[in-house]
């Protein structure tokens, strides 16, 4: 077949035409939902947008939770230490005068820790499906969406206020508010293990203390050129900060139920975005 004829193949080593490039970039709905596309591993270094959005959601969800009860749904270090202090209180003072009650704040911290672990355990499903496949990244993020939606419904039905004025008087105290804490923490636990499995500079996307330390220790910290190891860490930190700011601003405008409803929509958009993250095969072609 002649080279110039219609439908002919390009010569080996020749550069593809603009039409060929456009065809390579365009993806039909059939190809997006094909088994090969869904079960392909994504390239973690090219998943900047959804991972940065994960960090945004960490700040967003934590701002809603902390504003109401001064407990973090994502940062379990503080909750774990709080439970340790609750246990130490049992040995404070002389016998007979010790405070043996389980305070409301301690109950909320325990709820957050346990449900966070439950959400992280759900992430083990990804080990069977393929922790970096588009199918699991979509499904796992969609489960996070359902958890966030459930939290929004629970706090809406609870009738509890959105903000607290003092740590000694949390805004949430009834059973439905505890369910809200549980769903929010479970979503963060699942997000954390999924972020860890993708294995990028964004780390777990929920605990940024390590990211701060790694950023300060990065040998390319002051390099003027682009450096992924530094730039992605900065993006994650900024995204979390913006998420916390946006969460509190929306919370003040429409309440905690409305804010979590907005968070539900954002999580759904993230889940869909995983379909369009380039895969490792795509990068190597």
| Per-domain boundaries in the chain | 52-88+102-277
Calculate what percentage of the chain has a pLDDT beyond 70: 87
- From 1.10.287, 1.10.1060, 1.20.1250, 1.10.3470, which CATH number describes the 52-88+102-277 domain? 1.20.1250
DSSP code string of 22-50: HHHH---HHHHTSHHHHTSBB-GGG-HHH
pLDDT in tens, 265-282: 999 999 999 999 888 764
| C-beta separation of 174 from 82 below 8 A | no
Please list the helix, strand and coil fractions of the chain in percent, rounded to the nearest 5, in that order: 70, 0, 30
44-98 per-position pLDDT tens digit: 888 899 999 999 999 999 999 999 999 889 989 889 999 999 888 888 877 777 7
- 20-46: per-residue pLDDT in tens? 434 334 456 666 767 787 888 888 888
The 10s digit of each residue's pLDDT in 129-181 is 888 999 999 999 999 999 999 999 999 999 999 999 888 888 999 999 999 99
* The pLDDT value given to residue 33: 67
């Amino acid at each position: 077949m002649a080279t110039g004829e219609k439908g002919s193949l390009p010569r080996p080593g020749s550069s593809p035409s603009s039409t060929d490039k456009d065809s390579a970039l365009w993806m039909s709905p059939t190809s997006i939902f094909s088994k090969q596309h869904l079960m392909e591993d994504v390239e973690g270094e090219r998943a900047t947008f959804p991972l940065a959005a994960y960090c945004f959601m960490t700040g967003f969800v934590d701002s809603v939770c902390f504003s109401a009860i001064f407990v973090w749904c994502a940062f379990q270090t503080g909750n774990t230490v709080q439970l340790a202090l609750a246990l130490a209180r049992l040995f404070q003072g002389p016998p007979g005068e010790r405070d043996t009650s389980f305070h409301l704040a301690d109950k909320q911290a325990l709820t957050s820790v346990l449900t966070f672990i439950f959400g992280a355990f759900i992430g083990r499903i990804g080990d069977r499906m393929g922790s970096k496949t588009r199918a699991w990244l979509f499904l796992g993020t969609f489960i996070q969406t359902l958890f966030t939606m459930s939290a929004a419904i629970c706090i809406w039905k609870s009738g509890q206020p959105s903000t607290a004025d003092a740590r000694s008087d949390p805004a949430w105290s009834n059973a439905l508010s505890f369910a809200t804490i549980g769903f929010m923490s479970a979503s963060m636990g699942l997000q954390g293990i999924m972020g860890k499995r993708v294995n990028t500079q964004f780390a777990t996307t929920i605990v940024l203390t390590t990211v701060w330390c790694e950023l300060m220790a990065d040998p390319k910290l002051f390099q003027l050129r682009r450096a992924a190891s530094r730039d992605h860490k900065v993006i994650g930190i900024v995204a979390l900060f913006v998420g916390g700011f946006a969460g509190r601003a929306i919370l003040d405008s429409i309440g905690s139920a409305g804010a979590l409803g907005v968070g539900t929509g954002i999580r759904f958009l993230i889940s869909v975005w995983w379909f369009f993250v380039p895969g490792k095969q795509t990068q190597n072609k």
